Amino acid sequence: MNLDSLPLEKYVELENDPYYLARITVNQYKTTFHVELDIIHKETHKIYKHLGRFYDFSEIDDALETGYQRLKDLIGKKI
């Protein structure tokens, strides 16, 4: 992936919820990457609920993949 496109934001539609999206954001700090997970309002993109941060990934692809995996785990639980 291109590092010039950071922060990288990916959006995931939430099943049965027309008002909110899940957002996965990947950022770089020095030589490592971290990922943040949020539930945001679809229209305003304001954060409804912060789900967590995960740190110290050596590759941007690893951070993004972990973001998708953790989101899947968290969405299965009640938010």
pLDDT, one tens digit for every residue, the chain (79 residues): 666 678 999 999 998 889 999 999 999 999 999 999 999 999 999 999 999 999 999 999 999 999 999 999 988 765 5
The dihedral region occupied by 70, where left means phi > 0, alpha psi between -120 and 50, and beta the remainder, is alpha
C-alpha distances out from residue 29 to 13, 42, 55, 70, Å: 28, 28, 9, 20
Q: How far apart are the first and last CA of the chain?
A: 31
Sorted by sequence, the CB contacts under 8 Å of residue 2 that are 6+ apart come out as none
- pLDDT given at position 52: 95
